[in-house]
Structure 1
Amino acid sequence: MASTHTGAGTRPAEWRRTDADAGPSRPRQLLAALAFLLIVALIAVLGSLASASNVDGWYAEAEKVPWDPPNVVFGPVWTVLYALIALAGWLIWRAGFAAGRPNRARRALGIFVAQLVLNSLWTPVFFAGFPLFGEAAWWIALAIIVALAITVVWLAAAAAPWSKVAAGIMVPYLLWLLFATSLNIGIIALN
């Protein structure tokens, strides 16, 4: 007779782990953690490549809102956020793991991937898009970051049954996205 692990939270009964479920092996967990970190790091690197020449270019010349922080703030904040985002993905994956079966948290993982895609689009569109497309790039970037913020809220809700920590990680991420949205809007309004 299989018993339900304590701490399963509000997961539907068919998703709760039982003693018959084998969790991922430690090597598999480490490999998955590394994969999440590498994917998120790739997004960070591509974003920094898209913004590097433009931060000291057009962005340095643009009018900004008074609460725009110094450029040195962005790297450390995004580094912490990207590490947390990778951790959240791994926690969701691990909680939904079922040996020999599709991951039971695949809906939440699909939303996780959607937010990664949107995240990976914003920086190139906002920074590298402006020299190519002008102000239209800022508007497209605004649509992307608003969609990203909505997706992060959706991800937090979808992740909660699997990992309260993963859902909680979405809070500082969302707050930073809302702050970045205000900066994006400021660039549009002031330039």
Structure 2
Amino acid sequence: MDAASAQESGRLTFRDAVEGDVPALVALIESAYRGDASRAGWTTEADILQGQRTDPDGVRRVVEAAGSRLLVVERDGVIVACCQLEHRGDAAYFGMFAVRPELQGAGLGKVIIAEAERTVREGWGVSEMHMTVISLRDELIAWYERRGYRRTGELSPFPYGDERFGIPQRDDLAFELLVKDLTTTGAAVTR
């Protein structure tokens, strides 16, 4: 199912986050990546990072920032996913992507990322989508590669010592930039 048919069926709705969504979005993001609840899904970082993934101030900054959107995905009025979209010149940045752990692996992520790409291509006219992923997350990076993203090899350091981003359980963490060309149609999307 593509993003348009998901919206038309009424099963999923997409909207911009508002201030009142912040507590629910923090809980969603935390549940998708940290702690025991995250182990129900496949995107958990619980083995490499403990502590928080984000906090209310971080989510609120994304909601309020100029050139930024926090896309909320609801099913039957319940928030099931979200992602950050930030306009950066000719590119958009994709971040804070979270799907409720019990819904991961059912194809929802593919629908959401396709809608995010459509949104930034049509709304901002950007030619690329950028994101950063912890370079050790091979399974997650492979999932993005199947969506048409490519590894750049460009690494940035993990913010060790800043517990707003979690408490590292390893000393070899770094972020890798992934990029997708949004100007081509029919980009590779597989299971």
What's the TM-score, normalizing by structure 2?
A: 0.28
Greater relative contact order (CA < 8 Å, ≥ 6 in sequence): 1
Q: Larger % of strand: which?
A: 2
Give the structure with the larger helix fraction.
1
Give the greater-gyration-radius structure (CA).
1
